[in-house]
Structures are given as C-alpha cells and as structure tokens.
Structure 1
Amino acid sequence: MGTHVIKMPDIGEGIAEVELSQWHVKVGDLVVEDQVLADVMTDKAMVDIPSPVHGKVIALGGQPGEVMAVGSVLISIEVEGAGNVKESAQPAPVKEAPVATPKVEAVVESKPVAAPAPKAAVCQGPMVARQADERPLASPAVRKHALDLGIPLRLVRGTGPAGRILHEDLDAYLAQGQSNASAPVAAAYAQRTDEQQIPVIGMRRKIAQRMQDATQRAAHFSYVEEIDVTAVEELRAHLNEKHGATRGKLTLLPFLVRAMVVALRDFPQMNARYDDEAQVITRLGAVHVGVATQSDVGLMVPVVRHAEARSLWDSAAEISRLASAARNGKASRDELSGSTITLTSLGALGGIVSTPVLNLPEVAIVGVNKIVERPMVIKGQIVIRKMMNLSSSFDHRVVDGMDAALFIQAIRGLLEQPATLFVD
C-alpha cells in the first residue's frame, strides 16, 4: 500500500491562502476518484476539492475554519500499490460551488476499492429523531413553511439529497398525524437548558467580514422614499396576461432595474466604485446590477451584467437564472463579482423600512420594501393605492445627500409614470 498526499491546490487569481470550510469525509472513509473531499472558501466563492484517486482516508490536514496556505497538505489517502508516498504534482481540478449544497455522490467502481457508504441515505417514513444540536438540512422557504405549520424540523425525515427536507416531507409528516398539534401539550412548555455553539466559518465568516468592513470603512447614510406603484403594477399585470405564456412572467424587479438604468443616465456618480486606498472614484458606463439573493449558507449577490442593454424580459430571465444558480450552488465566481450598484429586496417580508449595508467598493445600494394598499389623498379624494418604500444607502464620502435624494426621486418618477421607462 502507498500514501497519496493531496496538497491545497492553487485556485488562481493570486490567491495564497484559503479557508477550510467543510470536510465531506473523515479518517477511515473509503473514497473514489472525483468524490468531493472538502469545501474551501476563497474571497469570492466556495470551491469543491475532489479526490484524484481511489483509497482510504488516513489523515486530514486541518479543521473547518482553519486558514491554509496553498501547497500545504490537505489530506492523505492510502492507495493500492508500492509503499511509497506520492504527492499530486498537478492537483485535481477544483469545482466552483459558491453555495455549499450537500451532495449525494454517484459511485463508479473503476478500481478494486470498495465504494464508501453514502453519508445520508434516503430514508423511508415521515418522522426521524435527531440530536438537539443537529440542524436539519432545509431551505429557508421550507423552514418558514414548517414554522407556519408548527412542525419541528428535527422530527421530519428528509428525502432530498443528503437528507434535505422538502415541502413534500412536511406534507408526509402531517399526513402521518405527527404534527405539533398532536404532541402532548406539556412538551410545548417544557424547560430547556440546551445550548448550541456555531462556529462562524466559511461563507458566514466571509459575509461577516464584508459587512463589518463596509460599516467601518464607508460613511453610510440612508434615504427612504415612498412610491406609488399602482400604475407599474397594473402595467406588469397587463404584460403578464398578454405575454406571460410566451415570454415568461415579470416580477417588479426588472422594472426596478430598468428604472435604475434610466435614472443613472443623469446620476452617473451612483454607478461607481470607490478605491479608498488609492483615493480614486471610477464611474462606469456599463450598469452591472448586483441582485442580493438569500441562499442556505447566507446572502449572495449575483450580477446582472449590462443591464442597460436588456429588455424587461431579458432582465427578468437573467435575474431568475442567477438567483437559481446562487441558491443551488452553481453560480461561478464571475457571476458573483463585478457589480457596480446593488438592488436588495426581502420580497413579501420587506417591512416598511430598512437600512441596507453597502456592497463595497460600490457607493449605492437600492433597497425594496413590501407593497401595501393604503388610503391616499389624490386631488382632494381618498383613494386606495399600492404603496412601497425604497430604503437606500449611500457612501457619504462620495455621494452628497442632495444627489442621493434626487436619484431616488428620479426612480420614483419613472415608476409612478411607467411609460417614461421606455422613452429615450
């Protein structure tokens, strides 16, 4: 038998060190070629490290959360053959995976090494017992659905990849009569003394660092404006009714992107990046809109490139594609970088006001709050209108308050008179 040593590969772009985010194997596991061994985090994305060989894991080179230099020993695998130590001269190609989505690997026997047992086999039945500190795998939408139904996720058996809980699993749980309503009432009021410590590593650490850096370096100020979106919502409904079946459904986001593009013609100082070390502001003609997207591991910002050259449906399709890629862990590093201004929205949970944090080195971020119907006075008459707030933040080192207010007012005018979105 021999030992194959896999070193931390050179991921490129001048990266000298990366953070070890998660192991997918442990000492003693049998692995096959191309099986994902670990996830590492660069400044821009999560990256999968696959195995170039079949064998048995005999040593791990670090712990999750540890920062490792390129070229350091990542993992040692016992392989069949001569008893010498082999090192990967050319590390196995890495696979970008911005979201560390658990995977069930397909096993193909091409060498006489037993395939590893699957980490999380799909189990039958709606109910399972988990440890108190074990966090079930589930998307934010499934977690909210379970909360609304009063279902404790730790009791639901997941049938998705790696045991991920799906909406269908919640339905199966309810069908078996295991809902929270059928549990003893005393259990809902039982005292709890358990604690859970969650290391801030991987994507969560990167998000924390970027948010802290942004708030410490930029001089944030926010501006909130109320917008009557009745007309643009009527236009959206009309276009969806007429073209939805052939061109796809439109949400409000592509209208907002279009309004930002048009408003930036008069306010180019908002579509800029500020290098505070070089003391240089770069204004860009291209409008690359970052669209903040929630994923299982935290906030991602995929980029709609050249929004200035896109139609409503083109923008809508690209927003949908990028959001899906980010949530499923398939967005590339290029798709997650290079934005010039960011749009953030919490959808139906948008509240009435927020204070979004800048996506440095950008100088502006436009935040969308929820739409509500309210009585408004128009020409002396009380009418019901659909109203929405824009809560936006700017870097006061670069953007003056008056310019920020005028920029948002320009977006307001375009959305309240949506025909002007298409007048050149």
Structure 2
Amino acid sequence: MGVHTFKLPDIGEGIAEAEIAEWKVAVGDDIVEDQPLCDMLTEKAAVEIPSPVAGKILELKGAAGDLVAVGGPLVLIEVAGGAPLEADASAAPEPELTPQSADNKADSGGSPAVVSPSPRRDATASASASAPRPPGEKPLASPAVRKRARELGIELAKVRGSGPAGRISHDDLDAHVNGAGAASAGRAPRMAVESVKVIGVRRKIAEAMQRAKQRIPHFAYVEECDVTELEKLRQQLNAQRTENQAKLTMLPFLMQALVKVAPEFPQINAQFDDEAGVLHQIAALHIGIAAQTDNGLVVPVVRHAETLDIWAMAAELKRLADAARSGTAKREELSGSSITISSLGPLGGIVSTPVINAPEVAIVGVNKMVERPVIQNGMVVPRLMMNVSSSFDHRIVDGWDAASFIQRIKQLLETPALLFMQEWS
C-alpha cells in the first residue's frame, strides 16, 4: 500500500488560499475516484474538491474554518501500490465550482470550539447522596466560594458539599442553582457559555466589513422622504399586474431613481482602487442588493439596471433573491456592483448607517415607512414618511455632492411621475 498526499489544487482567480468550509469524508472512510472530499470557501463561492484517487482516508489536514494554501497538503489517502505517492496539484482533477454557500457546519473533520467543563465528578449526584448538614453546623467553603454564593444570593447552609467533610466547591454551587436548590434561591442564573468558531461565510463577511471600516472613512447622510404618492402608485400598479409579473416592492422604484440620478454624479457610481489610487467611474449601473440569507449577508447584483423597466427590475430582484437564499446564485451574480442598496424591509428602523460594499464608494439604505403627522399648508395631515440613510467614502465623495445626490433621489421618490419621464430636471 502507498500513501497519496493530495494537495489543494489551483482553484483559479489568482486565489492563494481557501478556507475549509465542510468535510464530506472522515478518517477511515473508503472513497472512490472523483468522490467529493470537502467544500473549500473562496471570496466568491464554495468550491467542491473531488478526490483524484480511490483509497482510504488516513488523515485530514485541517478542520472546518482552517485556511489552506494552494499547493498545501489537504488529505492523506492510502492507495493500492507499494510506493508512497506525492500529489501534483497541477495534475489534480479540476474542482467543481458549486454556487451554493457553505453551511458553516463542521463534521468529523473538526467541530466548533466549545467551553469544556473542568474535570470533576457529578456534583449533583454527590450532593443528593450526602447526608444533610446538621442544624447549626457551619458549612465548609473557601473564601472564593463564599463570595460567589453571596453574589448569587445562595445560603451555603442549604448547599450540599461533595468535598471532604462536606466541603462546598464551585461545582456544588452550580449543582445547587441548576438542581433542586434553585427554587429556594429564586430564578437560577444562566451559567452556560458557548464559544462558536467564526468560519465559512460568516468569517468572510466579518473580514469584508473589517476591511471596509478600516480603510474607508465613512460619513453618513440621512434624509426624510414623503412616499405617500409613491406608495399609492405602487399599490395601483400591483393591482393591475399580470400573473407573470413580479410584485413591486419599494426597491424597483429606488433603483429607477438611481438610474436617472447616477449619470449626474459619476464619482458616486464608481469603484475606488485605493492601492493604485485610481477611481473607476462606471457608466453602467450594476446595483448590488444587500440580502440576508440563512448563511449570512450576500449582495446579488442587478446588472445594467439602466436597460430595465420597473417590471423587469422587480423580476430580476426576485430571481436573484431566490437564488441567493437557496444558495444557487452564480459567482458572477454576487460581484461587480457599482453601487449598493441596503434595505431591512419592515425592520428598517428609523435611521441606519450602512457599511460601504468596497470597492464601491456609496451605499444607499432605506428605512421603514411610517405614517407621521406632517404640516402642509398650515394644517397637520397624515403622510407616509421614509428615511433614506446612506454612507459615502469621504476620500472620493464630498458632503455637498452626497447631499445633492440624495436630494435628487428624494425629488424623484416624492414625485413618482418623474421616474417615468424621459427628461426631468
């Protein structure tokens, strides 16, 4: 028998390392050629890595969440033959790109770290087996145990000790508050602590957010918009839509506003390469839509929004949202945006400060619609109001330009007929 050292193959796009998202085999498993070994997570997608040989798994070189360099050892496989084999990463089978995101789960290859209790015998069982403390007998306990008992509001005389001569330990306090003694001490405090390793998509999100906040000097601008007429129009259009038309939300109208406003502010619909010191002003409007999924935040991209009418925008939004939530979005559908919209829907709150989706220089956030009393022509009237909370890269966008940009959007949202006019001012 020989040992095949399978190295992580080149998975393209200039990627130097990838994260182990999920093992699909365990040590001791018999495998066949081309059987999936694991999912590796890159910046854009999960990559399924197949085995180049048949054999038995001897060792997994890492756990879920670990980073592996391209060309680095990934799996040791026992194969038929006498001489040990060294895997050639360049000759390995082409990994299959799977569009779904990783499940952020670890199996036999490694599990998320948890807090392990200190070795001890079962304090609950010991306490129940020991004899009650005679009346008037002083309980034995260390100063630290006594201090903690006072903080928890526990009378040590009522705690059974499991140590020598009935000495009370911290474990005995835990057994008391979690067992029969909890009732006499009132509500039992929650003592459990679970440490969960941040891996997979969640780690990628964390890294991206950290880079954005470290490198981009954000500034926020919030404006209030009266969307009463816009909401009336949206409801009327939805009442008239055909079965094959997607339902209109507020987002297609905001996207249409961006299509009209963006050409006036080329420095905002742009990507900034801060290492090269180059701003790429993009004529097309590729709108990213920040979407929450079971695997975390993703940003599917509506490409060339300037070519779509409002119904086509709604249809593309639905298609991309469904693909993102089901994990079937393609890599090219999750990258390349020139500006991003962030919306929390009915949970949108009053004001938010969204984080810029680097290398973009602006993100437009919408908050929830709320009916408020507004003074019009000297009278208090109910109006449907919505805040637009946006963030800008202050290296590129000046405050005046940001305010002018949002004011133009406000004008369109408050007078929705302008959204459908060829010329407007």
Question: Is TM more than 0.5 here?
Answer: yes
Match of 1:231 in 2: 229
CA–CA separation in structure 2 for the residues paired with 1:311 and 1:92: 40
1:202 alignment partner in structure 2: 200
> How far did 1:56 drift?
3.4
The alpha carbon displacement at 1:19 in A equals 2.0
User: Following TM superposition, by how much is the alpha carbon of 1:286 offset from its aligned partner in structure 2, in angstroms?
Assistant: 0.5
Q: CA 1:102 to 1:207, structure 2 compared with 1: closer, same or farther past 3 Å?
A: closer
Q: Which one-letter code corresponds to 1:323 in the other structure?
A: A
Residue 370 of structure 1 and its aligned partner are, at CA, apart by 0.8
- Find the partner of 2:95 among 89, 93, 96: 93
Q: Shift of residue 393 of structure 1? A: 0.2
Aligned to 2:276: 278
Paired residue for 1:398, among 383, 389, 396? 396
Deviation at 1:396, TM superposition (A): 0.8
Map Cα deviations across residues 196-229 of structure 1 (whole Å, 9 max, x no partner).
1111222222211211111111111000011111
Report the 3-state secondary structure (helix = DSSP H, G, I; strand = E; otherwise coil) of the residue aligned with 1:318.
Answer: helix
**Which residue does 1:375 correspond to in 2?**
373
Structure 1 residues 40 and 77, CA gap change in structure 2 (3 angstroms): same
Counterpart secondary structure, 1:246: coil
1:367-419 deviations in Å (ceiling 9; x for gaps): 01111111212222222221111100001111010110111111111111111
Alpha-carbon distance in structure 2 between the residues aligned to 1:346 and 1:76: 46
Letter in 2 for 1:99: S
Equivalent residue for 1:365? Answer: 363
- Give the match for residue 26 of structure 1: 26
Partner Cα distance (2:39, 2:276) in 1: 34
Q: Which shows bigger deviation, 309-318 or 24-33? A: 24-33
**What residue identity is the alignment partner of 2:14?**
G
Structure 2: runs of 5+ lacking an equivalent = 109-113, 116-181
Whether the 8 Å contact between 1:7 and 1:91 is mirrored in structure 2 is no
Deviation at 1:49, TM superposition (A): 2.0
Per the alignment, residue 156 of structure 2 pairs with none
1:337 matches 2:339: no
C-alpha deviation, 1:350, in angstroms: 0.7
Question: Amino acid of the residue matched to residue 67 of structure 1?
Answer: L
Letter aligned with residue 96 of structure 2: V
CA deviation profile, 1:170-208 (whole Å, cap 9, x unmatched)? xxxxxxxxxxxxxxx98x954322111111222222211
Q: Which amino acid aligns with 2:92?
A: Q
2:11 maps to which residue?
A: 11
Match of 2:219 among 214, 221, 226: 221
Structure 2 match to 1:293: 291
In structure 2, what is the equivalent of residue 155 of structure 1? none
Are 1:57 and 2:20 counterparts? Answer: no
Matched, 1:356 2:354: yes
**2:244 aligned counterpart, secondary structure:** helix
Cα distance in 1, alignment partners of residues 355 and 295 from structure 2: 18
What per-residue deviation string (whole Å, max 9, x for no partner) do you get for residues 334-392 of structure 1? 11111100001111111100000111111100001111111212222222221111100
Alignment partners' CA distance in 2, 1:55 and 1:238: 64
Q: Could you tell me which residue of structure 1 aligns to residue 310 of structure 2?
A: 312
Where does residue 154 of structure 2 map in the other structure? none
Letter in 1 for 2:44: K
Which residue of structure 1 lines up, in the alignment, with residue 261 of structure 2?
Answer: 263
* One-letter identity of the residue aligned with 1:284: I
> For the Cα contact (< 8 Å) 2:103–2:200, is it kept in 1?
no
Which structure 1 residue ranges, 4+ long, deviate > 6 Å from structure 2? none
Indicate conservation of the 8 Å contact 1:204/1:298, yes or no.
yes
Asked if the contact 2:41–2:102 (Cα under 8 Å) also holds between the matched residues in 1, the reply is no
Q: Quick one: distance in 2 between partners of 1:219 and 1:62?
A: 37
The change in CA–CA distance for 1:348 and 1:34 in structure 2 (over 3 A counts) is farther
Aligned to 1:417: 415
CA drift of 1:47 comes to: 2.0
- What secondary structure sits across from 2:419 in the alignment? helix
- Check whether the contact 2:104–2:295 (CA below 8 A) recurs between aligned residues: no
1:386 alignment partner, SS class: strand
Q: Residues of 2 paired with 1:411 and 1:34: CA distance?
A: 53
Please give the TM-score of this superposition, normalised by the length of structure 2.
0.75
**Contact 2:21–2:103 under 8 Å retained in 1:** no
How far apart are the structure 2 equivalents of 1:310 and 1:44? 26
Matched, 1:324 2:322: yes
Amino acid at match of 2:18: V
TM-score by length of 1: 0.75
The count of corresponding residues between Structure 1 and Structure 2 is 347
Q: CA deviation at 1:70?
A: 1.1
Q: Secondary structure at the match of 1:265?
A: helix
1:54 is displaced (CA, Å) by 5.1
Deviations, residues 69-88 of structure 1 (Å, cap 9, x unaligned) = 11222123345x44555547
Paired residues of 2:19 and 2:200 also in contact (CA < 8 A): yes
CA contact (8 A) 2:372 2:385 kept: yes
Which residue pairs with 1:70 in the alignment? 70
Q: Which amino acid is the alignment partner of residue 102 of structure 2? A: A
Aligned to 2:38, what secondary structure does the other structure show?
strand
Percentage identity across paired residues of the two chains: 56
- 1:5 deviates by 4.1
